[in-house]
Amino acid sequence: MFKKVLVANRGEIAVRILRACEERGLQTVAVYSEADRNALHVRYANEAYLIGPPPSSQSYLRIDKIIDVAKRAGADAIHPGYGFLAENDDFAQACIDAGIAFIGPSPEAMRAMGDKVTARRTMIAAGVPVVPGSAQGLRDDEIAAEAQRIGLPVLIKASAGGGGKGMRVVRTESELTGALGAARREAMSAFGDDTVYLEKLIERPRHIEIQILADSHGNVIHLGERECSIQRRHQKLVEESPSVAVDEALRQQMGQVAVRAAQAVNYTSAGTLEFLLDQNGNYYFLEMNTRLQVEHPVTERVTGVDIVKEMIAIAAGRRMRLKQEDIRAKGWAIECRITAEDPINNFMPSGGKITTLQEPTGPGVRVESGIYEGFEVSLFYDPMIAKLIVWGENRAEALLRMRRALNEYRIGGIKTSIPFHQQLLSSTQFMWGAFDTNFLEERFSMTYIERPEMEISAAIAAALVAHSGEQRATVMHHGGRPTGSAWKRAGGWKR
């Protein structure tokens, strides 16, 4: 096992990894920018080193500085967290060249799955279902013909991208030229690569992902699915495990496909296969995230597996102690991403000093945070400042527990996304699980006024559905009004 680990990240994920290292008995090293001198991860680590000015391009993205700190500190491993350099194969290779273990997949696997066009080819060869689309980057003069072959509507996607960057929906031929130019410009600005490809647009899908773990001894397992359909501009806001739209047969089928996909690129460490699930129960490979996911705690909570500790052990060359038959999910977990944004004002960023902080506690509640009272929230970085995770015996209990925890959460001095999450959990459609990736844009509004009787009705409906055999058939209609005895007993549609 390693002796000292450097965490090449900041915020709540840096603290999460530092805690896992401490529980492993490992010494820890933090790096920080000038804006993060007083950050929580800096205070938590055994050692901390300044690596540059606030802009990430001059600090957290500087491979040379991070490797230099690791050498000076005597770190024998680096964990990249997520974001920044987490999926940068050059960084992974630089660690290896410096004789430092990279706690993540190999550079070769990252390259194979990091480029979306290459990943599509690899998955097709492995027999993994993919969204109909182009198999390679296209020239402008090829786009129109390919769009006709696939059939409108289509999605233009940046080959090197993620997070919705370089992505445009095209529904008519007249939109194609403008959308293509905009996608290429955005992709070049964000990733330095304007290569794009086309995918058939799957209307009103669910976003389902499968967590996998793989060691260097050929063992690969999956940890079930996560539901990630609550998104705003392709950014996830709420995640849960399991999904109301996935039954046991589909879970095992998707899990086996995810394992096969990981084996196709000789993958090691933690990784996530993302899929689109259509209204008929068909699923299609979307992409693979070759890193730890923001939403990993919900999987940890229902399976009892500490994914970060497993990553550390795998990077040290150890054989996984877990086999597929050991994975038995229990209960339901939900995560709300707490961001420094104003949901009433179109999610505008909100920086400033945290004047008060009261975090929720109690049974089944977990908070992963990068802030404290008096901390200055910077606008230089991603607005996520904490994650609130709850667990319940079933979805109804998890929803009610999350409502309670959100009501307890107090962050003063800045605007946060807490009001958004409170509003979302008052939505009857969300309670029923009748949503898809377009739910927030098409069928949700922050202007809705809560009423106690509607809250009670929604909670009762959720509790009934959680124990009803009608559940999956209902939610697969993605927002269509549920029918059946359980629905009628709950009093019908209240919102």
pLDDT tens per residue, range 440-458: 999 898 875 455 555 555 5
Which member of 16, 111, 168, 291 is catalytic? 291
Q: Is the pLDDT of residue 162 over 80?
A: no
* pLDDT above 90: percentage of residues in the chain: 75
pLDDT at 170 over 80: yes
Q: What is the pLDDT of residues 91-143, one digit of tens each?
A: 999 999 999 999 999 999 999 998 877 888 889 988 899 988 885 677 888 88
| Mean pLDDT score across all residues of the chain | 90
Our measurement of the distance from residue 491's CA atom to the centroid of its chain's CA atoms, rounded to an integer in Å, reads: 35
Query: Which SS3 state, helix, strand or coil, does residue 95 take?
Result: helix
Distance CA 301, CA 360 (A): 17
Bridge partner residues of 212 (DSSP): 222, 271
pLDDT band at 480 (very low <50, low <70, confident <90, very high): very low
For residue range 354-378, what is the model confidence (pLDDT) as tens digits? 999 999 999 999 999 999 999 999 9
Query: Over 50: is that where the pLDDT of 407 sits?
Result: yes
At residue 484 the predicted structure's pLDDT band, cuts being 50, 70 and 90, is very low
The residues, ordered by sequence, that sit 6+ positions from 300 with a Cβ below 8 Å of its Cβ are 306, 307
> Which one is predicted more confidently, 234 or 297?
297
d(CA 228, CA 239): 5
Active site residue 120: no
Residue 153: cis peptide before it, omega within 30 degrees of 0:
yes
CA–CA gap between residue 70 and residue 34 (Å, rounded): 18
Question: Which domains are present in the chain?
Answer: 4-103 (3.40.50.20), 132-200 (3.30.1490.20), 206-427+436-445 (3.30.470.20), 428-435+446-495 (no CATH)
Cβ density class 306-345: b for 16+ within 10 Å, e for less:
ebbebbbbbbeeeebebeeeebebebbbbbbbbbbbbbee
Per-residue confidence (pLDDT) for residue 485, from 0 to 100: 36
For residue 7, the SS3 value is strand
